[in-house]
Homo-oligomer: A and B are copies of this chain.
Amino acid sequence: MAGPGSERAERRATVDSVAEHAGVSRQTVSNALNAPHKLRPETLERVRKSISDLGYRPNNAARTLRTQSTRLLACRLLPSNVNGTGGVLDSFLHALCASARDRGYDVLAFHAANDDDEIEVFHDLLQRHAVDGVVLTNTHFTDPRTHWLLANDLPFVAFGRPWGQARPRHSWVDVDGAAGVERAVERLVELGHRRVGFLGWPKGSGSGDDRCRGWERAMERFRLPTRGLLARSEDGIAAGAEMAGRLLDRARPASAIVCVSDALAVGALRAVADRGLRAGQDVSIVGFDDSPVASVVRPGLASLRQPLEAVAEKVVDALLCRLAEGRTRRVELLVPPSLVERASLGPPT
């Protein structure tokens, strides 16, 4: 009866029409939706029936005007190939939209060429009261956006740590890259590996250094040698093949390699194959991000999957908390990635 497609566009139901239909007043209908406990059960029931009979839903604009809350969150679209995060932020946006909608919010996506451009959009959205809050992605060192948002009192939560800020004043959620890599090494050691290498990005990137630290921590914890088992370079398949080659051509070669990205890991797989070795048997390879290629390449690439659904959920939680309670509570949360095991992961020969 009230399902999609049933009612025609006659005229939209309003709180008044529902009130008349149910034989109560405007406010009672409003309360039925926003404070059901204030109604006598039988009244509530009657109003609810009228609401569903008429297919009523509160008009967004009117509600927004009165409550000053738009139930919209802004999030910038990032080019999917930025910073080697291919597809990750895209998936995050999906999860964000889903999480937000579960809680009655929607996501306003916008395009910005750079940080200053993004701030310009924030300015516009703030002035026009177009959104309640902002989700920041791809945070980095000396990020001008956090300062602007704090100064202009626009609520926000970051997906990404406040890199370089000793005393962050905002909530953030991030993936614990170090813990993920540490877990991967732990698993490799469990399988019997002792010479575990790491392919990283050049020093200076927040998440790259973080993931590398996880490898260092694990190697130290298990008292394993690290000499000649670490290589760094820009992202890419060719770079991965080249670096992995160096680790494999040593007198005492690596028997397993954890990589800071899937692109480097795919390169590592190639280096293994080029040497007539079998990935997952002679040498184990683990990537990061569990990107679509990971399940497509042969052999399947084990990879550390970022829990984007969980991150999105926590981000929305934190933002709604900020909206509801103001600055009382600050959320700082690290979520560990999970190791997706595939054929490229196995015991050493």
Interface residues of A (CB under 8 A from B): 4-5, 9, 12, 55-62, 64-65, 70, 72, 77, 79-81, 86-87, 90-91, 93-95, 97-98, 101, 106-111, 119-124, 127-130, 148, 151-153, 236-237, 292, 296
Complex: A12 Cα to B123 Cα, angstroms: 13
Q: Are A124 and B57 in contact (CB under 8 A)?
A: yes
Q: Are B152 and A9 in contact (CB under 8 A)?
A: yes
Q: Are B90 and A80 in contact (CB under 8 A)?
A: yes
* A247 → chain B closest CB, angstroms: 23
* A93 → chain B closest CB, angstroms: 6
| Residues of chain B within 8 A of A86, CB atoms compared | 292
| Residues of chain B within 8 A of A61, CB atoms compared | 61-62, 64-65, 70, 129
Across the interface, A122 reaches (CB within 8 A) one of B4, B58, B90, B120, namely B4
* Copies of the polypeptide in the assembly: 2
* Apart from A61-B65, A90-B90: 9 A-B pairs, beta carbons within 8 A: A4-B152, A5-B152, A60-B128, A61-B70, A62-B65, A77-B94, A80-B91, A97-B111, A107-B108
* A102 → chain B closest CB, angstroms: 10
Nearest residue, chain B, Cβ from A106: B108
Q: List 28 A–B pairs whose Cβ atoms lie within 8 Å, in order of A's numbering.
A: A4-B122, A4-B123, A4-B152, A5-B123, A9-B152, A12-B129, A55-B127, A57-B127, A57-B128, A58-B128, A59-B65, A60-B64, A61-B70, A61-B129, A62-B65, A72-B108, A77-B97, A79-B94, A80-B87, A80-B91, A81-B292, A86-B292, A94-B111, A97-B111, A101-B111, A101-B121, A108-B109, A109-B109
| Residues of chain B within 8 A of A119, CB atoms compared | 4-5
Q: Are A111 and B128 in contact (CB under 8 A)?
A: no
Nearest residue, chain B, Cβ from A110: B97
Complex: A296 Cα to B293 Cα, angstroms: 15
| Residues of chain B within 8 A of A70, CB atoms compared | 60-61
